[in-house]
């Protein structure tokens, strides 16, 4: 499976020149299953716009597309109206929620951000067929891939996801705030991940000033990687006020503590077969 970051920024997209190395688009991660030639998408932040363009450029493009949402804050849904494949009549878009969000709520959240006060084209006029599904939280089998979720502490709730395929494991935990300490349940969920993708929006000092905002610090992400025995840690959901210089310096400091870690860069890819 190949994991590609189409959006690494948290909270709001940024377009300033000195933010382009790590990227200005908000959360969107594609998971490409090489065996089935099938792509699954996690979150529809503004990064999904470029992903849609990449999909449309493929002459054998995928006509049945799955999107899963960790939660529905703006930075995880606002790219959806700009996702070109959803405007094609020959395409089916399966939209998945997890945990407590019902299928009816899921539909209303996504249609809501496209009602005429906010956007010119209603979701029902986009063109493709939409299917809405709630995946629950327990281990499930999706096309031979084992998937599990964990409920995270985040305003309005978010979910982390663990994906296992061919003995490889990927854990994505963005938009998570660890209150007081990192729980054993959370560490168990991340246990022995080949690739751990974790929220790291703040420095320790910034975290103190943003208690209740729903995010983690670099040091917390490193602690999760260490305690859960992750092979590789990629930190994401970069604060919109952290420019490339700042993030590069943070990355160096983090690598002194945990060698196999990087800060996510827009466009970067990780092949789980390499782990
Ligand atoms: Zn977010
Ligand atoms: Zn959020």
Domains of the chain: 2-274 (3.60.15.10)
- Ligand index nearest the alpha carbon of residue 156: 2
Residue 100 has a pLDDT of: 84
The CA 175 to ligand 2 mean position distance, Å, reads 5
The CA 154 to ligand 2 mean position distance, Å, reads 7
Could you report the per-residue pLDDT of 94-145, keeping only the tens digit for each? 999 888 889 999 999 999 999 999 999 999 999 999 999 988 776 677 666 8
Residue 143 has a pLDDT of: 65
pLDDT-based confidence at residue 93 (cuts at 50, 70, 90)? very high
Residue 210 has a pLDDT of: 97
pLDDT-based confidence at residue 63 (cuts at 50, 70, 90)? very high
Q: Give the pLDDT mean for 199-227.
A: 98
The CA 13 to ligand 1 mean position distance, Å, reads 11
Rounded percentage of the chain residues whose pLDDT exceeds 70? 98
With 0-12 / 13-18 / 19 or more C-beta atoms within 10 angstroms meaning exposed / middle / buried, residue 234 is: buried
The CA 168 to ligand 2 mean position distance, Å, reads 27
Could you report the per-residue pLDDT of 19-55, keeping only the tens digit for each? 999 999 999 999 999 988 999 999 999 999 999 999 9
Residue 180 has a pLDDT of: 85
Residue 139 has a pLDDT of: 65
**Beta-carbon contacts of residue 69 (< 8 Å; ≥ 6 apart):** 42, 43, 44, 76, 77, 95, 96, 97, 98, 101, 106
pTM of the model: 0.97
The CA 237 to ligand 2 mean position distance, Å, reads 9
The CA 193 to ligand 1 mean position distance, Å, reads 22
Q: How far is CA 257 from CA 45, 110, 208, 262, in A?
A: 30, 41, 21, 12
The CA 57 to ligand 2 mean position distance, Å, reads 31
């Amino acid at each position: 499976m190949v994991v590609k970051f189409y959006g690494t920024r948290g909270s709001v997209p940024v377009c300033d020149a000195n933010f382009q190395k790590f990227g200005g688009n908000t959360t969107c991660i594609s998971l490409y299953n090489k065996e089935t030639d099938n792509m699954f998408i996690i979150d529809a932040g503004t990064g999904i716009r470029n992903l849609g363009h990449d999909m449309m450029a493929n002459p054998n493009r995928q006509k049945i597309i799955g999107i899963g949402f960790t939660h529905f804050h703006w930075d995880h849904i606002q790219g959806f109206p700009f996702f070109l494949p959803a405007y094609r009549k020959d395409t089916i878009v399966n939209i998945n929620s997890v945990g407590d969000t019902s299928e009816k709520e899921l539909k209303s959240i996504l249609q809501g951000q496209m009602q005429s006060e906010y956007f010119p084209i209603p979701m029902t006029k986009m063109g493709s067929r939409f299917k809405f599904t709630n995946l629950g939280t327990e281990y499930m089998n999706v096309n031979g891939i084992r998937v599990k979720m964990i409920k995270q502490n985040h305003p309005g709730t978010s979910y982390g996801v663990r994906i296992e395929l061919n003995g490889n494991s990927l854990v994505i935990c963005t938009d998570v705030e660890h209150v007081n300490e990192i729980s054993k349940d959370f560490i168990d969920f991340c246990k022995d991940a080949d690739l751990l993708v974790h929220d790291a929006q703040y420095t320790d000092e910034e975290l103190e000033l943003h208690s209740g905002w729903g995010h983690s610090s670099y040091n917390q992400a490193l602690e999760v990687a260490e305690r859960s025995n992750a092979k590789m840690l990629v930190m994401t959901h970069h604060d919109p006020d952290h420019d490339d210089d700042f993030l590069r310096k943070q990355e160096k400091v983090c690598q002194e503590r945990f060698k196999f870690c990087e800060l996510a860069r827009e466009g970067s890819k990780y092949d789980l077969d390499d782990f």
